[in-house]
Structure 1
Amino acid sequence: MTTILQVFQDWAWIGWLVLMVLFFVIEIFTLDMTFLMLGLGCAAGLVSVLTGWPVWAQAIVAAVAAALLIFLLRPPLLRRLHRGEDQTRSNVDALIGLRGVVLLEVTSISGQVKLSNGDTWTARIASDAPVITPLAPGAPVTVARIEGATAYVRSVHD
């Protein structure tokens, strides 16, 4: 039994090295910094192998290092990485708050609106609207949310 543990201890550095490389390769494809931190935790495990620590201590060192890196280093790195991003909303997010005009009476079941960007959408009255009365054609509306291909709208006057 001690020989198996000794063999495992002697070759543990290969396991840490393989895990480290694997995490770094996964990080290349995800770009989320999580696997980078796990790979650096494996590097800490590799250093503990080289200093002669037992396998159980190596695992603890690697886990603690990875957890500390994920919780302490990853958030500021992500903020720094995303600080220059364009904050302009796009796609469906850009439609929230957009104004439009009712084409076909909008109820809690059906309706149709034309938005100020020129799009025509199937519409329903937003469930959080203060008054849920049908909106007549020509009434001005604002988009509250989008679910699938349906715009949930509320009257501009609400």
Structure 2
Amino acid sequence: MDWWSDNSWVGWLGLAAALGVVEMFSLDLIFMMLAVGALTGAVAGAFDLPLALQLLAASAASLATLTLLRPRLITRLHGGPELTLGHDRLLGTQGQVTMRISATDVGRVRLAGEEWTAAPYDTMTTIEPGETVEVLQIRGATAYVHPVPRLEA
């Protein structure tokens, strides 16, 4: 018996390892899917199947993982929560008024531990210090706020 025909699984295993190394440099998950196919070929070779069946099994496994598994993995890896950066992260948050806010007087409000210049979102509203407000808009360095309604007991 020929050594290669008896130990074809070793060649498939070497190919899978080489494809795994190439995947580490590309990070596209294409070579990893081909490596899965090569591992399938190694399993077929370990069962002493003919080379044609080993190739067929490796090709089928590679094609299946490329078409069925890879798109789901890519979607999962590239998806995730949207990050809000800058002052947009303050939209919808609540804060405390530290200096009276009215249409004619720009006041101050404490938001997320920082002091911000604040103006009323509704120009007919006056907000006194100590009231809780919600940030509806930020323009430049000024937060436009609206008082949070309180339930009176």
TM norm structure 1:
0.49
Q: Does 1:35 align with 2:31?
A: yes
Q: Pick from 64, 67, 72: which aligns with 2:60?
A: 64
**Cα distance in structure 2, aligned partners of 1:27 and 1:85:** 26
* CA deviation after TM superposition for structure 1 residue 8, in Å: 2.6
Q: Pick from 3, 15, 18: which aligns with 1:19?
A: 15
**Cα distance in structure 1, aligned partners of 2:67 and 2:29:** 11
Identity of aligned residues (%): 37
- Which structure 2 residue ranges, 5 or more long, are not aligned? 85-153
Q: Pick from 78, 85, 104: which aligns with 1:82?
A: 78
Partner letter of residue 68 of structure 1?
A
Partner letter of residue 7 of structure 1?
W
Return closer, same or farther for 1:64/1:31 CA change in 2, 3 Å cut-off.
Answer: same
Q: Pick from 41, 48, 53: which aligns with 2:49?
A: 53
**Cα distance in structure 2, aligned partners of 1:28 and 1:85:** 26
* CA deviation after TM superposition for structure 1 residue 23, in Å: 0.5
Tell which structure's C-alpha radius of gyration is larger.
Answer: 2
After the TM superposition, which residues 126-141 of structure 1 pair with which residues of structure 2 at under 5 Å, given as runs?
A: none
TM norm structure 2:
0.51
**Cα distance in structure 2, aligned partners of 1:74 and 1:18:** 22
State how many pairs are aligned: 84
- Which structure 1 residue ranges, 5 or more long, are not aligned? 89-158
Which contiguous aligned blocks of 4+ residues in structure 1 show a shift greater than 4 angstroms? 85-88
